Amino acid sequence: MKSCLIVLAFLLCLPVSSEAADVSKPDKHVGNYRRGRALFAQRGCAACHAVDGKTVSLGPDLTKPEKPLTRQEFLESINEPSKQIKKGFEAYSILLESGKVLTGRITKQTDDAVTVLIPDNQFVKEQTIPRSEIEELVKQSVSVMPKGLLKGVPESQVSDLLAYLASVGDPKFTPPPRATIPAKQPGVMRDPEDADSTFYSPEESMKRIHLAPGYRLELVAAEPMIEEPVLCVWDGNGRMYVAEMRTYMQDADGIDQDLPRSRVSMLEDTDGDGRMDKVSRFVDNMVLPRMILPLDDRIIVNETYTEDYYSYRDTNGDGVADEKILLYPGGKAGGNLEHQNSALTWGIDNWIYTARLGARRHRFRKGKWESERIYGDNGQWGLAMDDVGRFFLSAAGGEKPAYGFQQLPQYGRLNLPGELEPNFEAVYPIVKMVDVQGGLGRVDKERGGLNRFTGCAGQSIYRGDQLPDDFKGDYILPEPVGRLVRRAKVTQIDGKTVLSNAYENSEFIASTDKNFRPLWSATGPDGCLYLVDMYRGIIQEGNWTRKGSYLRGVIDKEGFAKNIGRGRIYRVVHETTNRQPPPKLLDKTTAQLVEELSHPNGWRRDTAQKLIVLRNDKSVVPALIILARTGTSPLGRMHALWTLDGLDMISKPMILAALGDDDPRVKQAGMRVSESRLAGDPDLVKKVADAGYDNDIGVVVQAVNSLRYAKSDLGRQLISEFAAAYAENDLVLVSAQASLRYREGGNQPVFANLDAKTLEQMKQGYQTYTLLCIRCHGHDGKGALSSDGLQLAPSLAKSPRLLANPELPARILLHGLKGPIEGKKYPGLMESMKRQDDAWIASALTYVRNSFGNNGSAVTVEDVARVRSMTQDRTQPYTIEELSEFLPVSLDIMKTWKLSASHGGEHVGAAIDGNSDSRYSTNESMKPGMWFSIDMQQPYSVTSILLDTQKSRGDYPRGYAVSISDDGKTWSEPIIEGKATTAITDIPFPKGVSTRFVKIEQTGQHGLFWSIHELKVYGKPTE
């Protein structure tokens, strides 16, 4: 059993690094310790080999090498372990007088007894056996180590494994540090103080606005130049466009709020002193303008109560738009104005996004406007974007300061446990106040100020170059109810994006002026941070300020209603700021704009890319190719790649060059631009996968997300391999699950199906699998091979037994399984695990039901406990025949059944057509009394029914009652009642139920339809 057991002297000369490596050149790959450690466990090495120099193990201790091996000898010793078995590590079979056979490694022999190491579940136990109890002792000629453990493993992963093994034998090695939340700084350290509602001049108000040490505000614009500002943006020449909602809450009742009296103003700084001195009413007489996106010499504007997007242009230079063109006819938008769309944003990928990342995105392609559906989360006011194009949402209505930032919206919604540091929602205002919609429950009883985020809005990521380096990439979130601005650190911890307050129990900016209402932030053309202060008394909309409401009482008492018609825009600077005049990008040639793609200010990079794409000037393609390949700035190379993509001039060689780039941001961009090509290029699919084995988990996750677009078995296989190799990583696990569910057709909603509890189960199950199950089922779940090529266990991938109602796999794991499976015999039997507790079994099953391409529901401790109780008297393993009633009835048989429904009956067949993209639907909102009936044509012993609505995630029954009948006319009282909470609804039947007809009645109520994408019935014909 030589294998990876005697190679350490060779390994110790291998480089170990935590830096990214060029995986396109495996011979130059620098192994990664952390990834190799995961591979060591995932490939089953940890089940047999000690790495601590102390533990007694089946295989030799890997910290005690004998002699160096070449790399080829190392690989051969693992893939063909029986060629040479190290002395002292031979396997013995011991036949006892009782007839029992033990297999293990002998560690000691005397005339009276034999001491042997025997695998026992996930542990190895040492047992001394008297010779008087031994009938026969046989040395095996083959290694107990499975054959071909590294078969198909990329060279880069082999190097990772070597790097880890080198580290365990090196007493001087220390693991690379794990990223942690940054140390906190002192912010605005003041206790809340009393204040009245006095209206102050900009200068007086600024005296009451306090900033963290080293920072200050500069006034950019104020009333009467602007009134009721809600956002600001800039065109390529640095002219500022401000949306002014001049009719918003001009009294406590919001009278005449929807009249067309609002506007978009264009502000200019003509003398370069940093303060706006010229204003033009670019578009007037509007209804509460809420979105502005500058293009070239045009701007897109959207008004409240509509999803129409118009472009406006000033053709004669008088500062007033005289051209208006409809770009996108979105139609009317209903609902309260606070809950409508916002933040039109040009993304790094040249798509145009809004805060409704679960709606549509748009783009200009060959001069035409295109739109498509996406399935991210929806935010409220504001949309932040970082350097690589990841978005950050907030929602005042849901009191959610940040979410939706773990992945891009085209990959679906994803929020992970622990993505906000503990207590992140707590805020630290410096003014006492009670004008909060949530009432006194949102007021700190001791301090007298707001106690958590509620009015969060207008967030941004600072991407400029005029604040300290440690400010770059920070999340800026105004809180108008708390009269403060949060600065949060954005940290990548094992691939997960985690937000934390930059300051210790304090804020970046806070004011004692009760009219300070910050609700927008942005990085400006000069590289500074800008804030929009609506500066007013009432910030909440009229729906929440009606007479008799809690908030109305506070408004009347404080006199907030009279404080209207003002507004300020501030620039945040630091004592080290060296502000330069904004650039004139509209006046630059396209060639000059290519140079701007590498500028340290993200606003300039984004604007230059946008202008080049809009100009569609192909003359700069050679310069862009040179920049993408050889530019000194990684962000410049990334922008060049996206600009080429926006010009439809991306090529496979350019993609391959990006995949081989040393910077993870460029590599991820290469993967994203490859997505449209993957379905028709298997070679490119493999190249993306190879590049995905990177030190940066973000690259791994991007590969997993991008590979879904291969829409092939190869792509799904590669995704499954990533999931197995990084099974301890939350983000990889959930991304792989979502990608494996993606199918041909595109633009389907794909969501990860793992909550915090299930994720924890997956991790625990992974440990169990790698220490025990992997010996027989293999690293890929397809069955390990013995040294003589014999498959040791059936495949777990897409196993109907594993993916049946949880009762079936729980029975197998509790009591074992013997005999042929689907006509094939396997050595030995599946042992009983009933000595393990319910949590152990539940986690193991949850892991394998959601790995290897599987997508099953989680198994709960209660599921296992119920099965254990029902089968407590069983003493023998099951056979397949005994479990047939727990297997799903085949689709071919189900298609002979007759289905009917109270609503949408014409679509009932879609529930059993084997196509998860089609569905049965009521086509009406759920309500009690709706039913779905099944005539199975003959009596069946039914153990459970499963309703799968994952492709219409919210359409599960809010309540259900199941009745049975022998004739379809006379129905029983409900035999089971319940409430569904997820897109997979398992309905276990009471023991012994035999029936021909089953009716599932909807007992809940909800605005969504009741749908069934896939119906499964578990049981067998009654004998």
- Percentage of the chain surpassing pLDDT 70? 90
Strands (E), 845-982: 898-901, 920-926, 931-948, 960-965, 976-978
Q: What is the pLDDT of residue 27?
A: 35
Nearest partner of 503 among 85, 925, 189, judged by Cα? 189
Question: Judging by beta carbons within 10 Å of its beta carbon (0-12, 13-18, 19+), is residue 185 exposed, middle or buried?
Answer: middle
Token reading at 867: 């099965």
pLDDT at 198 over 50: yes
Q: What is the pLDDT of residue 54?
A: 61
List for the chain the helix, strand, coil content (%; round to 5): 25, 25, 45
- The mean pLDDT value for 826-836 works out to 84
The more confidently predicted of residues 383 and 543 is: 383
Q: What is the pLDDT of residue 269?
A: 97
pLDDT at 28 over 50: no
DSSP H helices, 680-825, are 682-692, 697-707, 713-725, 730-741, 756-768, 774-777, 807-815
Q: Which residue has tokens 């997007």?
A: 309
Instruction: Write out pLDDT tens, residues 475-495.
Output: 999 999 999 999 999 999 988
From 37-51, 496-510, 621-635, 954-968, the region with the lowest mean pLDDT: 37-51
Helix (H) or strand (E) run with residue 61 in it: none
Q: What is the pLDDT of residue 46?
A: 66
- The mean pLDDT value for 280-304 works out to 98
From 268-272, 424-428, 459-463, 741-745, the region with the lowest mean pLDDT: 741-745
All domains of the chain, ordered by start, with CATH? 33-169 (2.30.30.100), 220-574 (2.120.10.30), 778-884 (1.10.760.10), 891-1021 (2.60.120.260)
DSSP 609-646: HHHHHHHT-GGGHHHHHHHHHH-S-HHHHHHHHHHHHH
Q: Do the Cβ atoms of 857 and 822 come closer than 8 Å?
A: no
Distances (CA, A) of 427 to 448, 449, 453, 483: 12, 9, 6, 10
Helix (H) or strand (E) run with residue 74 in it: helix 71-79
Q: What is the pLDDT of residue 17?
A: 36
pLDDT at 793 over 60: yes
- Give 553's contacts (C-beta < 8 A, 6+ positions apart): none
- Give 389's contacts (C-beta < 8 A, 6+ positions apart): 347, 348, 349, 408
Q: Do the Cβ atoms of 599 and 250 come closer than 8 Å?
A: no
Q: Residue 212: pLDDT band by 50, 70, 90 thresholds?
A: very high
Helix (H, G, I), strand (E, B) or coil at 893: helix
Torsions phi, psi of 469, nearest 5?
Answer: -55, -35
pLDDT at 723 over 70: yes
The more confidently predicted of residues 800 and 612 is: 612
Instruction: Write out pLDDT tens, residues 861-913.
Output: 999 999 999 899 999 999 988 888 888 899 999 999 999 999 999 999 999 99
pLDDT at 3 over 50: no
Sign for the CA dihedral angle at 799, 800, 806, 812 comes to negative
Torsions phi, psi of 391, nearest 5?
Answer: -105, 155
Q: Do the Cβ atoms of 471 and 463 come closer than 8 Å?
A: no
- Taking the C-alpha atoms of residue 590 and residue 602, their distance in angstroms, rounded to an integer, is 18
Q: Which residue has tokens 């049946």?
A: 804
- Taking the C-alpha atoms of residue 122 and residue 124, their distance in angstroms, rounded to an integer, is 7
Q: What is the pLDDT of residue 750?
A: 53
- CA 782, chain centre distance (Å): 27
Q: Do the Cβ atoms of 580 and 610 come closer than 8 Å?
A: no
pLDDT at 43 over 70: no
pLDDT at 437 over 90: no
pLDDT at 821 over 90: no
DSSP 1013: S
The more confidently predicted of residues 968 and 86 is: 968
Distances (CA, A) of 995 to 908, 942, 992: 20, 8, 10
Q: What is the pLDDT of residue 728?
A: 75
From 670-674, 703-707, 761-765, 786-790, the region with the lowest mean pLDDT: 786-790
Q: What is the pLDDT of residue 15?
A: 35
Neighbours of 14 (CB within 10 A): 15
The more confidently predicted of residues 362 and 22 is: 362
DSSP 883: G
- The mean pLDDT value for 304-309 works out to 96
- The mean pLDDT value for 659-682 works out to 96
Helix (H, G, I), strand (E, B) or coil at 484: strand
Is the peptide bond prior to 518 cis by the omega test (within 30 degrees of 0)?
no
pLDDT at 780 over 80: no
Torsions phi, psi of 999, nearest 5?
Answer: -125, 125
CA atoms within 13 A on the CB side of 209: 29
- The mean pLDDT value for 526-550 works out to 94
pLDDT at 745 over 60: no
The more confidently predicted of residues 176 and 713 is: 713
Token reading at 846: 């949850």
Q: Residue 453: pLDDT band by 50, 70, 90 thresholds?
A: very high
- Give 886's contacts (C-beta < 8 A, 6+ positions apart): 801, 804, 805, 807, 808, 811, 943, 944, 1018, 1019
pLDDT at 19 over 70: no
End-to-end CA distance of the chain: 52
Q: What is the pLDDT of residue 977?
A: 95
The more confidently predicted of residues 596 and 16 is: 596
- The mean pLDDT value for 350-374 works out to 91
The more confidently predicted of residues 587 and 721 is: 587
Residues pairing with 507 in the sheet: 188
- Taking the C-alpha atoms of residue 576 and residue 972, their distance in angstroms, rounded to an integer, is 79
Q: Residue 35: pLDDT band by 50, 70, 90 thresholds?
A: low
pLDDT at 788 over 70: no
- Taking the C-alpha atoms of residue 22 and residue 330, their distance in angstroms, rounded to an integer, is 46
pLDDT at 283 over 60: yes
- CA 489, chain centre distance (Å): 19
DSSP 452: B
Instruction: Give the global pTM.
Output: 0.79
From 240-249, 259-268, 298-307, 431-440, the region with the lowest mean pLDDT: 431-440
Q: Residue 30: pLDDT band by 50, 70, 90 thresholds?
A: low
Q: What is the pLDDT of residue 370?
A: 93
pLDDT at 967 over 70: yes
- Taking the C-alpha atoms of residue 449 and residue 439, their distance in angstroms, rounded to an integer, is 12
The more confidently predicted of residues 614 and 29 is: 614
On average, the pLDDT of the chain sits at: 88
